[in-house]
Amino acid sequence: MIEFFAALKESTVLQQALLAGIIASVACGVVGSYVVARRISYIAGGIAHCTLGGMGIARYLNRVEGWSWLQPLHGAIVAALIAAVIIGYVSLRARQREDTVISALWAGGMAIGILFIARTPGYGEDLMSYLFGNILLVSREDLYLVAGLDVLVVALGLMFYNRFLAVCYDAEFARLRGVRVEFYYLLLLAMVALTVVVLVTVVGLVLVIALLTLPAAIAGQFVPRLWQMMLIAILISMAATSGGLALSYAPELPAGATTIALCGAAYLVTILCKRVLSPHRRSS
């Protein structure tokens, strides 16, 4: 830990990594709370894995076709948004096929990604950083992009808070009150997609679901309202990403995995404490 703080003063790489984690935590807390409340973490998982296809194609075009302006993160954004629209459309129109479609996108997106990565010269280390994240590789451009997406997602999440709350809790009633339920549901999934991309840069796509859901789930144990969940989840997420980075630095562990291990441990401790402290109440 002391080494980490010493290095933080010197290293801009480390400063950028810390900043990326803190910025990403804001979107993570806001959107993660919607995901937990509406119980759509499986959808978030499908979108997350789909991003590998986008990143693989973008990297291929960048390296092989010489599209130097195209970064893997751009591919991830496009793939995540396409996945969100397809899943959203299917879940609105043909409810019973939803899980099948999510599974197909989940695995299909990864397969496309792996195929393109195999056809792209270079080592597989990029693949590892997509899957499990490498926050130390976050460039200044990435940071700007992440910050931009963050502002967009958080602004939408707060601006339409009442509508999202109503659509998540009781879509049929919201529709009767004149709320355009389909629009807001698709918008919410698009925000999930952008948040997933933001978080992929921090912890990689395999670990995204944990960072998206665990802080909100922990928060939900303590506070009863959605906006309170969001605030607490943001703080927990900031603590987890910063803590993960700090703890992993000296022993040279992967920061993403350390972050998720911290989240998982915190969730476990929360549930156990709640059980012990209030044995008569049903734990949710």
| CB 173 to another protein: min, Å | 6
Complex with another protein: residue 15 or 162, whichever CB lies closer: 162
Complex with another protein: residue 178 or 279, whichever CB lies closer: 178
DSSP letter, residue 280: T
Half-sphere exposure of 69 (CA within 13 A, CB side): 0
Interface with another protein (CB under 8 A), residue from 64, 176, 235, 250? 176
Question: Dihedral (C-alpha) 166, 170, 176, 181: value to the nearest 10 degrees?
Answer: 60
| CB 158 to another protein: min, Å | 9
Residue 184 makes contact with another protein by CB under 8 A: no
Return the range that interacts with another protein (CB under 8 A); candidates 115-123, 187-195, 220-228, 237-245: 220-228
The contact pattern for another protein, residues 32-71, with x = CB under 8 A and - = no contact, is: -x---x-x--------------------------------
| CB 169 to another protein: min, Å | 5
Token pair recorded at residue 207: 């670990």
Residue 233 makes contact with another protein by CB under 8 A: no
Interface with another protein (CB under 8 A), residue from 93, 119, 177, 275? 177
Return the range that interacts with another protein (CB under 8 A); candidates 22-30, 54-62, 98-106, 159-167: 159-167
| CB 155 to another protein: min, Å | 10
User: Apex CA 207: angle with CA 203 and CA 210, to 5°?
Assistant: 110
How far apart (Å, rounded) are the C-alpha atoms in residues 253 and 134? 11
Q: In the chain, count of helices (H) and strands (E)?
A: 13, 0
Nearest Cα residue to 105 out of 50, 51, 54, 55: 50
Enumerate long-range contacts of 121-128, CB under 8 Å, 24 or more apart: 121/63, 121/64, 122/63, 126/59, 126/72
Complex with another protein: residue 83 or 167, whichever CB lies closer: 167
Nearest Cα residue to 77 out of 46, 107, 40, 47: 47
Interface with another protein (CB under 8 A), residue from 5, 144, 173, 183? 173
Contacts to another protein by CB under 8 A: 33, 37, 39, 159-163, 165-166, 168-170, 172-179, 220, 223-226, 228-229, 284
